[in-house]
Structure 1
Amino acid sequence: MTAPVLYLSHGAPPLADDTRWTQQLADWSAAFEKPKNVLMISAHWEEAPISVSPTTRLVPLTYDFWGFPQKYYEVEYAAPLAPELADSVTGLLGGRGLEVHRDETRGLDHGAYVPLVEMYPDADVPVLQMSMPTLDPATLFEIGRTLAPLRDEGTLIVGSGFTTHNLRWFNPAAGADAPPPTPSAEFDHWAAETVAAGDIDSLIQMLDRAPAAHEAHPRTEHWAPLYLALGAADASGASTVESTIDGFWFGLSKRSWQFG
């Protein structure tokens, strides 16, 4: 089994209350073979050297958000550990001279577990989360290329971010389906066309080439996981790309892609 590569917009914890988006995520995961395990790269874990989540014992989730109702801090997702995947990641990256640290204390953050709860609600797929050691696009792309062989072992590589992420646009009073700000719509349109065209150079130079780039991503951590996904897809010869989810949520683009 050669698993696909995903980039998804993960939403905030209240995504769980959006019946349309949760159904889209469930339908998406049901459309391809269940993976052997998942390697999750979330916008919410930046750490160098590269670190991976626990492999020896289950630890509580990382509730890396503030000011939400209590119910969002009571979510649990006890996915099995993935020590073999951690070994594979360490071996592949070590072959490039990259150090991999095992953090046995940090549970999955909301960029990881929020979408996984919807995609694999039985928590029956082993999950390993990996940190981003930098936000540099070319570096992340090459790390993704290095990890590409994992696909042939049945590993689903997932970059979890948000296609536009300017929280100044987030207006709960307007409702989830309110028309997006023009910059969000413009960037989403560019992203859809550029990813579909496989224009890696333009994607890597997003800040210089995309319309409203600095407004859509005042900081690029939610766009950065795409580069790992693109690298893994490119190195393994993924010949297809599909925009699997589109539309907006409180003004932010939730566009997501499947490669291969």
Structure 2
Amino acid sequence: MPIPMPRYRSLFLSHGAPTLAISQHPANAFLRALGQTLDKPKAVIVVSPHWMTRGFPVKQADRYQAWHDFNGFPAELYQLQYPAGGDAALADRVQAAIGAAGLPTARDSQPQIDHGVWVPLLLMWPAADVPLVQVSISTGDAAAHWALGEALKPLLDADDGLLLIGSGSLVHNLREIEPEYAPAPEWSRAFDGWISARLHDADRAALLDYRRQAPNAARAHPTDDHLMPLFTAAAGGGGPANKLHESFSYGGLSMSAYGWPATAAG
């Protein structure tokens, strides 16, 4: 019999390029298997780098639409849809929790969801039958996004049917793209390994100081938007993370994924 997977409070999923949705890359197979293995949550709270504002607005719509927020990709990618439903009551709770933590927030009724949301969810739950609420990342730093995770943590503590997903990329340098299956360069592997060790040790101080402490940090993230959801997932999950997947795409793009088990939450 298969070994049951722990129940997770939060996940960090690297979504890479939009073509992950139609690729044969190992990260595609991982996300499909993950969706089949996890207990299906009753709703997900998702943070993606492709929606950034000055605060932490909360998106809520009755029915979402996949936003094809990219150009120059295969035509079949633009045919994909993801009409997941919203959850108005959860959106209210999320917005209230963010506001109670003293963080700026607002309501956003735009029904479009970016590929950082719909690509991983399409692979995990292709029937689009898990309601979602999206929260914007902000122009703030790692500490601000850790604070967002801490604000959401009481919701995860109180309701074990919720799952927080930070969608991003553990290494995201589009200036050094190579063919999809090119081997990962050492500079990318070194950054990935450093983050992995800090997550395993739940070393909050080092993670928040990654720009100074991590090897090749500026090269791994010329801009840090794709790493910010990691800090929200880590703070919301609490405790050490389990590494769920490791692979690289287009050379140095790390597709690593992590989960924070419910039993590790503090």
TM-score by shorter chain over 0.5? yes
1:104 alignment counterpart: 109
Matches within 5 A, 1:145-164: 145-151=150-156, 152-153=158-159, 154-164=161-171
How far apart, CA to CA, are the structure 1 residues paired with 2:64 and 2:43?
Answer: 18
Deviations 1:185-242 (A, max 9, x none): 11111111111111111111111000000000000001111110111122xxx4x521
Which residue of the other structure, out of 53, 61, 75, is the alignment partner of 2:80?
Answer: 75
Give the alignment's TM-score, normalised by structure 2: 0.89
Partners of 2:27 and 2:247 within 8 A in 1: no
Shift of 1:96: 2.2
Deviations 1:33-73 (A, max 9, x none): 11110100001111123222233x33532222122122222
Matches within 5 A, 1:66-215: 66-151=71-156, 152-153=158-159, 154-172=161-179, 176-215=180-219
Relative to structure 2, which stretch is displaced further, 101-110 or 153-162? 101-110
Partners of 2:21 and 2:77 within 8 A in 1: no
Change (3 A) 1:78 1:106: closer
Quote the sequence identity (%).
35
Which residue of the other structure, out of 19, 27, 32, is the alignment partner of 1:21?
Answer: 27
Partners of 2:171 and 2:220 within 8 A in 1: yes
Partners of 1:135 and 1:221 within 8 A in 2: no
Across the aligned residues of Structure 1 and Structure 2, the Cα RMSD in angstroms comes to 1.8
Q: Please give the secondary structure, in 2, of the residue aligned with 1:66.
A: coil
1:7 paired with 2:8, answer no
One-letter code aligned to 2:113 = L
Structure 1 unmatched ranges of 5 or more? none
Shift of 1:21: 2.1
Q: Please give the secondary structure, in 2, of the residue aligned with 1:259.
A: strand
Q: Please give the secondary structure, in 2, of the residue aligned with 1:92.
A: helix
Structure 2 unmatched ranges of 5 or more? 1-6, 262-266
1:52 alignment counterpart: 58
Shift of 1:30: 2.7
1:253 paired with 2:254, answer yes
Partners of 1:12 and 1:114 within 8 A in 2: no
Shift of 1:134: 2.8
How far apart, CA to CA, are the structure 1 residues paired with 2:202 and 2:83?
Answer: 36
Give the alignment's TM-score, normalised by structure 1: 0.91
Partners of 1:86 and 1:128 within 8 A in 2: yes
1:64 paired with 2:69, answer yes
Shift of 1:3: 4.7
How far apart, CA to CA, are the structure 1 residues paired with 2:59 and 2:19?
Answer: 24
One-letter code aligned to 1:155 = L
One-letter code aligned to 1:232 = G
Change (3 A) 1:59 1:257: closer
Relative to structure 2, which stretch is displaced further, 190-199 or 57-66? 57-66
